[in-house]
Amino acid sequence: MARLLLLFLSAALLLAGANAQFQFFEQMFNGGQQQQRHQQPQNVPSDSNWYQEQYNRAHCDNYLCPDTLACVHFPHHCPCAHPMYEEKAELNEGKAICISKGGFKAGEAARKVELARKGLI
């Protein structure tokens, strides 16, 4: 009788382990497909609906930067969307622009903007 009970418990443990293993693989493979559906769209035609949804969902008590959706105190505090390739140049009246980096030295693009404002280039 004890042997039969031991055999029954062993079989139950094996079945439980196999079931858990199948559930793991099912979640791993099917879950991956579900995660892909929630990723941002790729290679889609120009459509501002995705951006508008993100913009409308963003919560900001101060100023919401339109390019990066960062929440800052003043518009000229907005970060550049691509800081690796852009420099921020602050203009007068609390305005700023992001422009492509203009050379090998930091601040080169901002220097050229200042020269252009003065009419020198």
Bridge-partner residues for 96, per DSSP? 90
Domain extent at residue 14 = 1-33
- pLDDT tens, residue by residue, 37-52: 556 667 777 778 888 9
Instruction: Give the confidence band of 5 by pLDDT, cuts at 50, 70, 90.
Output: very low
Residue 113 lies in a domain: yes
C-alpha span between 109 and 77 (Å, rounded): 18
C-alpha span between 55 and 73 (Å, rounded): 17
Instruction: Give the confidence band of 82 by pLDDT, cuts at 50, 70, 90.
Output: very high
Are 68 and 28 within one domain?
no
Sign of CA dihedral 33, 34, 40, 42: positive
pLDDT score of 78: 94
- Predicted TM-score (pTM) of this structure: 0.54
Tell me 41's DSSP state: P
More confident residue, 67 or 90: 67
* Number of domains composing the chain: 2
Ramachandran area for residue 92 (φ above 0: left; ψ -120 to 50: alpha; else beta): beta
- pLDDT tens, residue by residue, 15-40: 445 444 545 445 555 554 554 455 66
Are 112 and 64 within one domain?
yes
Residue 45 lies in a domain: no
Structure tokens at 103: 């050379």
